[in-house]
Structure 1
Amino acid sequence: MSEQQRSRPAGGGFGRGHGPGGPGMVMPGEKAKDFKGTLRRLLSYLRPHRGQILAVIGMAVLSTIFSIVSPKIMGKATTELLNGIIGRMRGVPGAHIDFDYIWQIVMLLLGLYVISSLFTYIMQLLMAGVAQKTVYDLRRDVNDKLGRLPLKYFDSRTNGEILSRAVNDVDNISTTLQQSLTQLITSVLTIIGVIVMMLTISPLLTLIALVTLPVSFLAIKKISGRSQGHFIGQQRNLGELNGHVEEMYTGHRIIKAFGREEKSIQKFDQINDKLYDSAWKAQFISGLIMPIMSFIGNLGYVLISVIGGLLVTKRSMEIGDIQAFIQYVRQFTMPITQTANIANIIQSTVASAERVFELLDEEEEVPEAAKPVELADVRGDVAFEHVSFGYGENMLIEDMNIDVKMGQTIAIVGPTGAGKTTLINLLMRFYEVNEGRITVDGVNITDFKRGSLRNMFGMVLQDTWLFNGTIRDNIAYGRIGATEEEVVAAAKTAHADHFIRTLPDGYDTVLNEEASNISQGQKQLLTIARAILADPSILILDEATSSVDTRTEVLIQKAMNELMKNRTSFVIAHRLSTIRDASLILVMNHGQVIEKGTHEELLEKGGFYADLYNSQFSNGAAQEIAG
């Protein structure tokens, strides 16, 4: 399973906060470990926008007031209309319908609705600004933090997990701030306002309306308890199905090559059947909530209508008040359901915020030097002086001493886990040494700014990295402000110019996300051209020719030899044939330099290097043993 899928929350096929059970269905959300502490910290991001938030609350209050007084005013029109009709039917002298009065009420209601909508619009507009500014600050903090985290943080986590915190969790917070927060404010205000209005009409009917609420909640809790297990199974099966489809899609060539299509389809059908079973049960059981709530609500309406009718006959209430009260009851149930759902959404949002804050609280890189050193001209002398490095008690490198002079080519060989890549990571300060020091031109690398130090190096790795853009842009990434002529010259030196010009759009060819429109060898040529254009003081080559054919390898090796002239170069080698001309070969094993010397000297010693070299050229077993 891919890294992205392993880090993705199970499921994800439904909109956040609105569970697949529809309205009234409160989905179980992820819970924060420290809800109060995380909520306070999240609210601290809102503190600079206190004025706008107060304005949002003010708009919500005004919008709610204008909205909830409308039914009572409408009830007056109903009362006037009905009294006029009954008076005429009874032949009461002078009885008539005062259409002017009704028309005034209609215009008043229209004005109230327009004003209420206007306040709602202003509230949403203000809250959108607050939400986006808040999340902007949060995203900026996350981005800055990612730039200050050491490489070990990224090595110990999948890309999908980091992206989930930096993108999905922040987006979750953004959506809640912009939508759910205003909905929560208006729902709470509506509940309070409606209760007040119902009490002004009839305390007795209000009591009847409130009695039905516990019955509704008990029904919801009972059904939700039974459906929750099925929803969890649905999300789990959906996540499993997504992972299977992703793996089958990304590996479809291998599946076809090994003839496993039928087995893949069988597994898909098996997971799909489980998803259907859990989803059907979850939807069916949760689907009972609204009919049951409607049934209980209708019982309440019947009681209110009967008792209200009796009160009207006794002249204790007006008929319009009954109409208004029924409208208030309808207004009352919806915000209660919304508040319950929003409470669950907020719980999930705080859990997302907690994950983001965990990232922001991670241990950062060692601070930069207070007075960093700047070298105007970098020679390229590199020294490792009694360097030790490891995690806790697990030491990877112990007491390493290397002295490299300007212009030397240093090859680093050894089996997997010997510490070859670790050595390069220490050199570029992706990791910090535990003991000892590393110097460039006699200056401790901790005395440089990290950016200045890394600008001294040019890297060509075995795993190519190209971004979505033109070939020209990908090569020019090596140096800011590179001219067209310099880009082409670098491509020619790397022997990439010929294949680039055979493409339909040449240097303007756009590489897609995975650069799958060119071969792996051609990708490597482009990264080499990028390093050539960068013209660094020190080169780091990690099996740079591993993905090209033999003929191209010879051409690139000549170009690299030209590039490495008068430059210090570190070459991590798996194929030992590529480093025979190195100035010095370091043979590493278990974090120690166990042998060093030229190719000829090491062969004469007949030690570890000689065994590696002879195994490659005697039986072709090479690559696996060497690295």
Structure 2
Amino acid sequence: MDNVLTSKNVAWNIILAFAGLYFLGVMVKALTQFIQLFAFSMGAEYTLEAVRVALFKKLHRLGLRYFDNTPTGSIVSRVTNDTKTLFDFWNLFLTIAVALLSMLTAFVAMLSVNVTISLATLLFVPVILTTTYVYQKISSKIYRTIREALSKINTKINESLLGMGIIQQFNQEERILGEFDEINDYYAQRRAKMININSFFLFPIITLMYSLAEIVALSVFGIETQSNIFVEAGVIYAFLTYVQNFFNPLSNVMDFMPVFQDGLVAGYRILKIMDDDRLAPQQAVDETAQITEGKIEFKNVTFAYDKTPILKNITFTALPGQTVALVGHTGSGKSSIINVLLRFYEYMDGEILIDGHDLRTFSHEELRQKTGLVLQDPFLFYGDIASNIRMFDQKISDEQVQAAAKFVRADEFIEKLDGKYHAKVSERGTTYSNGQRQLLAFARTIVRDPKVLILDEATSNIDPQTEEVIQNGLNQMRQGRTTIAIAHRLSTIKDADLILVLDKGEIVERGNHEQLLAQGGYYADLYQMQLAKE
């Protein structure tokens, strides 16, 4: 090398040859990097898409018990923020792969120059690995708190947006802002602590090890020179360059260690959902099980929530075409009967039969297709009127949509809208009145022609005038269908075939309206109380 570099021994043909080889190497490296970057980036994109879809699918398989205990903002954070971090984590493997290849190449070059010094350089690697291990132990806890703080931020934002009207009405802006500022400040403190740890553990350690390796190399070369072992300047320069090429990739990897550690924490949080066993109740599907009549039988059904008894030995039969009303104070178990019937929760003991088949033998599709649910607070999706009635099922024609709307008298206000059935619906349908949203929920149920109809105080959000208009429609809708109705206003279920009065998860009275009044018990007292208020 020295002979080539000295001016009197310049061999231009050799220099040009080296220049050509260098240029060729640069072009090959550029092409290789392009292919690697493209392949890893596309792989990361597909991985991100697959993970998000799998996570979203798993969320829809989880039971309501999971959502009862997990804030919405935390779930959103895992589907969005954590999966994006996992994407960055995947991309990091390209950097690691290139770094390992570069280190291996540099070390082979070092060995070709001086085996002893090269092996001595490896003594610094355990120090780096030990530092990395300590960093991982310390940083993993902090990154976990950072992720949890970010979830709390998302939860607070989601909660504030959903409850904005209440917040403003009760002058709670300052309190909410203070709570958000506290969470955000905690998040910033955790991030700052992580920056301090990164600054101490990562780049300085590599710089120190690199400097020590150079000192060792120069010292050994100096000793060899003092021992009358001639070492060319070009050899020393080349070796130090190889040492630099050995430690530079390590430095790059250390720079990305925060991303790596953050990715591990994000992956752990995602896997925590994927491995969660609080699934929606599973079915032992019998393909012959079909809901044809709608006869419902509860036989000594018991249900507990977190070991707290909710339903105790519930027994009743609802024949096709009959209306069974559930009455009782809040917490008496009315909604729980609906929840176990719709398989939102798993009951512990007893049997639930529909048309003689065990409830667990119906497929989810069969059960949901043949049961119609109208909630007290109906939920509308972003889209238009027609899509909310057909619930985005394109098999349901426009004629069926319009017929269902007309059946429940929803067409009277729909026809007055700009766009009519194509009128826009904002998120949660907030631009429509409670009564209008409830009418759309009725139409949504009717269009599917269910065998079993479930009404959760379906007329509670309807004004008296509108209630009178649709009550006849409800009566017609119940014909030929088994109807389970939760009622708070007893005047709406006077014509029910069977009224079950619940208290603390038990049926304490049963009969029709006249029979229960004649008994002069719990139901009679409740009815007289409501009658006096009206």
TM-score by shorter chain over 0.5? yes
Change (3 A) 1:381 1:209: closer
Q: Give the partner amino acid of 2:101.
A: L
Deviation at 1:243, TM superposition (A): 5.2
Q: 1:378-397 to 2 correspondence within 5 Å?
A: 378-390=292-304, 394-397=308-311
Change (3 A) 1:615 1:332: farther
Which residue does the alignment assign to 1:564? 478
Deviation at 1:571, TM superposition (A): 0.9
Q: Name the CA distance, whole Å, in 1 between partners of 2:169 and 2:207.
A: 57
Deviation at 1:609, TM superposition (A): 1.1
Task: Tell me which of 318, 323, 333 is aligned to 1:404.
Answer: 318
Which residue does the alignment assign to 1:469? 383
Deviation at 1:537, TM superposition (A): 1.7
Q: Residues 468 and 513 of structure 1 are in contact (CA less than 8 Å); yes or no, is this contact kept in structure 2?
A: yes
Q: Give the partner amino acid of 1:106.
A: A
Change (3 A) 1:116 1:306: same
Q: Name the CA distance, whole Å, in 2 between partners of 1:412 and 1:470.
A: 34
Q: Residues 387 and 398 of structure 1 are in contact (CA less than 8 Å); yes or no, is this contact kept in structure 2?
A: yes
Q: Give the partner amino acid of 2:112.
A: T
Q: Please state whether the residue corresponding to 1:525 is helix, strand or coil.
A: helix
Which residue does the alignment assign to 2:5? 82
Q: 1:284-433 to 2 correspondence within 5 Å?
A: 286-287=198-199, 290=203, 294=207, 297-298=210-211, 301=214, 316-339=230-253, 341=257, 344=261, 347-348=264-265, 351-352=268-269, 354-359=271-276, 365-374=281-290, 378-390=292-304, 394-433=308-347
Deviations for 1:211-253, whole angstroms, at most 9, x for unmatched residues?
6667778888999999999888877766666655554454443
Q: Give the partner amino acid of 1:259.
A: N
Q: Name the CA distance, whole Å, in 1 between partners of 2:138 and 2:320.
A: 73
Q: Please state whether the residue corresponding to 1:544 is helix, strand or coil.
A: coil
Q: Residues 187 and 335 of structure 1 are in contact (CA less than 8 Å); yes or no, is this contact kept in structure 2?
A: yes
Deviation at 1:260, TM superposition (A): 3.7
Deviation at 1:475, TM superposition (A): 0.8
Q: Residues 455 and 536 of structure 1 are in contact (CA less than 8 Å); yes or no, is this contact kept in structure 2?
A: yes
Q: Residues 209 and 300 of structure 1 are in contact (CA less than 8 Å); yes or no, is this contact kept in structure 2?
A: yes
Change (3 A) 1:139 1:538: same
Deviation at 1:372, TM superposition (A): 2.5
Q: Residues 173 and 352 of structure 1 are in contact (CA less than 8 Å); yes or no, is this contact kept in structure 2?
A: no
Q: Please state whether the residue corresponding to 1:514 is helix, strand or coil.
A: helix
Q: Residues 237 and 275 of structure 1 are in contact (CA less than 8 Å); yes or no, is this contact kept in structure 2?
A: yes
Q: Residues 400 and 593 of structure 1 are in contact (CA less than 8 Å); yes or no, is this contact kept in structure 2?
A: yes
Deviation at 1:531, TM superposition (A): 0.9
Change (3 A) 1:560 1:137: same
Q: Which moved more, 1:390-399 or 1:611-620?
A: 390-399
Q: Name the CA distance, whole Å, in 2 between partners of 1:263 and 1:436.
A: 48
Task: Tell me which of 456, 468, 486 is aligned to 1:554.
Answer: 468
Superposition RMSD in Å:
4.2
TM-score (normalizing by structure 1) = 0.70
**What are the ranges of 5 or more consecutive residues in structure 1 without an aligned counterpart?**
1-75, 88-94, 621-627
Q: Name the CA distance, whole Å, in 1 between partners of 2:431 and 2:114.
A: 74
Change (3 A) 1:496 1:319: farther
Q: Does 1:102 align with 2:39?
A: no
Which residue does the alignment assign to 2:497? 583
Change (3 A) 1:592 1:182: same
Deviation at 1:461, TM superposition (A): 1.0
Deviations for 1:582-613, whole angstroms, at most 9, x for unmatched residues?
22221112222222222233223221112222
Q: Residues 410 and 582 of structure 1 are in contact (CA less than 8 Å); yes or no, is this contact kept in structure 2?
A: yes
Which residue does the alignment assign to 2:520? 606
Q: Please state whether the residue corresponding to 1:594 is helix, strand or coil.
A: strand
Which residue does the alignment assign to 1:190? 102
Change (3 A) 1:100 1:556: farther
Deviation at 1:511, TM superposition (A): 2.6
Task: Tell me which of 418, 427, 430 is aligned to 1:516.
Answer: 430
Q: Please state whether the residue corresponding to 1:351 is helix, strand or coil.
A: helix
Which residue does the alignment assign to 1:255? 167
Deviation at 1:366, TM superposition (A): 4.4
Change (3 A) 1:80 1:612: farther
**What are the ranges of 5 or more consecutive residues in structure 2 without an aligned counterpart?**
none
Q: Which moved more, 1:111-120 or 1:537-546?
A: 111-120
Q: Residues 464 and 527 of structure 1 are in contact (CA less than 8 Å); yes or no, is this contact kept in structure 2?
A: yes
Deviation at 1:544, TM superposition (A): 1.3
Q: Residues 407 and 473 of structure 2 are in contact (CA less than 8 Å); yes or no, is this contact kept in structure 1?
A: yes
Q: Residues 420 and 572 of structure 1 are in contact (CA less than 8 Å); yes or no, is this contact kept in structure 2?
A: yes
Q: Name the CA distance, whole Å, in 1 between partners of 2:282 and 2:147.
A: 42
Q: Name the CA distance, whole Å, in 2 between partners of 1:617 and 1:134.
A: 62
Which residue does the alignment assign to 1:181? 93
Q: Give the partner amino acid of 2:272.
A: R
Q: Please state whether the residue corresponding to 1:488 is helix, strand or coil.
A: helix
Deviations for 1:144-175, whole angstroms, at most 9, x for unmatched residues?
66666555555555555666666666665555
Q: Residues 500 and 507 of structure 1 are in contact (CA less than 8 Å); yes or no, is this contact kept in structure 2?
A: yes
Change (3 A) 1:252 1:291: same
The alignment-based identity, stated in percent, is 32
Q: Name the CA distance, whole Å, in 2 between partners of 1:223 and 1:456.
A: 57
Change (3 A) 1:155 1:616: same
Q: Please state whether the residue corresponding to 2:468 is helix, strand or coil.
A: helix
Q: Which moved more, 1:306-315 or 1:474-483?
A: 306-315
Deviation at 1:112, TM superposition (A): 1.8
Deviation at 1:572, TM superposition (A): 0.7
Q: Name the CA distance, whole Å, in 1 between partners of 2:344 and 2:198.
A: 52
Q: Name the CA distance, whole Å, in 2 between partners of 1:482 and 1:354.
A: 38
Deviation at 1:452, TM superposition (A): 1.8
Q: Please state whether the residue corresponding to 1:373 is helix, strand or coil.
A: coil
Task: Tell me which of 91, 101, 114 is aligned to 1:202.
Answer: 114
Deviations for 1:332-367, whole angstroms, at most 9, x for unmatched residues?
2233345562774675366346425523x6667444
Deviation at 1:477, TM superposition (A): 1.7
TM-score (normalizing by structure 2) = 0.81
Q: Name the CA distance, whole Å, in 2 between partners of 1:153 and 1:265.
A: 28
Deviations for 1:192-227, whole angstroms, at most 9, x for unmatched residues?
332221121234553675566677788889999999
How many aligned positions are there? 529
Q: Name the CA distance, whole Å, in 2 between partners of 1:168 and 1:253.
A: 28
Deviation at 1:412, TM superposition (A): 1.0
